[in-house]
Amino acid sequence: MVAAARAIETHRPAPLARDEFAEHFVRAAPASAGWPVRADQIPGGRTNPFWERLGRYFAVRTRVLDDHLLRTVEAGVRQVVLLGAGLDSRAFRLGWPPGCVIHEVDTAEMLAFKQAVLDRSGAVPTADRRPLAADLRFDWRDALLAAGFDPAVPTAWLAEGLLLYLPAAAERHLIATVAELSTAGSTLAYEIKEVEGVEVRAHPLYTTAREQIGLDLPALFDPEPRPASAAELARRGWSVSVRSPYDFTRLHDHGPFPEPDDPLAANRWIFAETPAPQPGNG
């Protein structure tokens, strides 16, 4: 679904984000082979509440997190970990500086599908890409260390569209593991729903998703109360910024924008950073 949204955005005039590989992922999976990958293929065009509204949301999220990672490596970080990497192609489509290592953590099945599509596309990574098969619901620390991750150097961590689906215990473990493995100058970006709000299953955004692609999105979200992960990071000494996606849709003048009874209004993007090393303190 996110890959389809990225493909649609890629083919728009003056796209906010570009992902030339996204269309290949969509077409390679039998369940999504008939989904739109261009704006003129969207049923109903601009009136479609799913592909237009949620699709544009994913485009803004992609651009904002691209920019975040690139700013982090421009500041000197050379180790990146994509948690729940899915069909993220940042290791191939972004211009990484020399010496960058990109760890992509996801299930073995996801990584195998992704690699097969990338191989057929002739994709060449623009950094030292290291896929790691691991289930983030369980312990993944030792596997990451065995894959060459260095906890002694700053890291840019990204959990894009992940924590909404993890059990609360897995989210707590993920945050604790990231904090344990992060030295000064590391960053973490992730997405949450800040409040549960009212029942949203009947909203056109979600009913259209069920009708057009057979996907019940709210059913995928883990139903447990979410941990206060941003507060936990702050307690550990991280500086934490909690932003609304609409901060960025206004910044880029790119929808979606707020609307009544908005199921996206509870979404928050979290940007956290460990204190930078002080002169003379290593």
Three-state DSSP at 273 gives: strand
Query: Residue 258 is encoded by which pair of tokens?
Result: 């707020």
Q: Is 194 a residue whose pLDDT tops 50?
A: yes
Instruction: Give pTM, 2 decimals.
Output: 0.95
Give the pLDDT confidence of 6-29 residue by residue, as tens digits.
999 999 999 999 999 999 999 999
- pLDDT score at 118: 98
Distances (CA, A) of 207 to 33, 84, 189, 211, 216: 21, 26, 29, 6, 8
Residue 269: other Cβ atoms inside 10 A: 21
Q: What percent of the chain has pLDDT over 90?
A: 84
Residue 266 is given by DSSP the state: T
Average pLDDT (231-247) is 97
Average pLDDT (51-67) is 96
Q: Cα separation of 85 and 90, whole Å?
A: 9
Q: Is 258 a residue whose pLDDT tops 70?
A: yes
Q: Is the dihedral of CA 229, 135, 81, 22 positive or negative?
A: negative
Quickly state the pLDDT bin for 34 (edges 50, 70, 90). Answer: very high
Report the candidate in 132, 119, 118 with the shortest Cα–Cα distance to residue 80: 132
Average pLDDT (185-201) is 78
Topology adopted by domain 56-273: Rossmann fold (3.40.50)
Quickly state the pLDDT bin for 282 (edges 50, 70, 90). Answer: very low
Burial class (CB in 10 A: 0-12, 13-18, 19+), 128: middle
Number of helices (H), then strands (E), belonging to the chain: the values are 11, 7
- pLDDT score at 279: 56
Q: Cα separation of 198 and 201, whole Å?
A: 9
Q: Cα separation of 233 and 240, whole Å?
A: 7
Q: What are phi and psi of 110, to 5 degrees?
A: -65, -45
Average pLDDT (219-245) is 94
Report the candidate in 108, 220, 216 with the shortest Cα–Cα distance to residue 167: 220
Domain ranges of the chain: 56-273
Give the pLDDT confidence of 68-82 residue by residue, as tens digits.
999 999 999 999 999
Mean pLDDT of the chain, nearest integer? 93
